[in-house]
Amino acid sequence: MIIVIGSQKGGVGKSTLTVAIASYLRQQGKSVMVVDADDQQSIINWYNNRSEELDHIPVTGASGRIKNMLLEHGQNYDFVIVDCAGRDSAEMRNGLLACDIFISPLRASQMDLDVMPNLTRIFTEAQDFNEKVKGYVVLNMVPTNMFITEGNEAADALADIPALTLTQSRICDRKVHRDAWGQSKTIFEMDNQKAKQEVINLMKEIGL
């Protein structure tokens, strides 16, 4: 199965979510390849700083027309997870032609909501060539303060979004995510059950 993580805006937590999903699937006994298709190479840098004592999660880079490369990796791994740049990129468009699941993290802000029409258009165009792909939008980096209602307001604004499914599961903005990244670890290698459970809930909702 090929999973593409992409968005129309940077700073939404794509790379962090990518390695969290990879770690979750590894814990399920699956073989996983992570493809860093973002020219910032955040995941490659994270991988290069990772301790040899930690679980080995294979990471490779890619750019341009990545469809055939993803399909080839898909023959050798249970899951190929692709982190694309936070913009309308050739890698995201090409990845959409090969993937089974598309996940777009979204922050609960008006700037993020403003990019959704174009993202939806790109996804529906890809569906014309890849009928099997399923698309999800997940509210990511949601404030944990119960008095901040941005998450619910964003969910209301996305209630009728076409083509893409808004997940009920949300990933909150927890310091442990930043701590994990700083240590080149995944959230499942940290001691924070709430953060882990949010990722587990998301994966189960998607059916993984």
The tens digit of pLDDT for each residue in 7-22 reads 988 889 999 999 999 9
Average pLDDT along the chain: 92
Q: What is the mean pLDDT of residues 173-193?
A: 95
Question: Between β-strands 171-172 and 2-7, what pairing exists: parallel, antiparallel or unpaired?
Answer: unpaired
**Which pLDDT belongs to residue 148?**
66
Q: What is the mean pLDDT of residues 156-175?
A: 88
- Would you say residue 146 has pLDDT above 80? no
Q: Tokens 């694309």 appear where?
A: 84
Confidence of residue 147 (pLDDT cuts 50, 70, 90): low
What is the residue-wise DSSP string for 133-180?
-EEEEEEEEE---TT--HHHHHHHHTTT-SSSEEPS--EE--HHHHHH
**Which pLDDT belongs to residue 176?**
96
User: What is the C-alpha to C-alpha distance for residues 153 and 198, in angstroms, rounded to an integer?
Assistant: 20
Which of 3.30.200.20, 3.40.50.300, 3.30.1360.30, 3.40.50.1970 would CATH assign to domain 2-206? 3.40.50.300
β-sheet bridge partners, residue 135: 102
Helix H or strand E encompassing 124: helix 116-127
Question: What is the value of pTM for the model shown?
Answer: 0.93
For 175, left (φ over 0), alpha (ψ -120 to 50), or beta? Answer: alpha
The tens digit of pLDDT for each residue in 46-102 reads 999 999 999 999 999 999 999 999 999 999 999 999 999 878 899 999 999 999 999
**Which pLDDT belongs to residue 41?**
94
Domain positions in the chain: 2-206
**How far is C-alpha 166 from the geometric centre of its chain's CA atoms?**
14
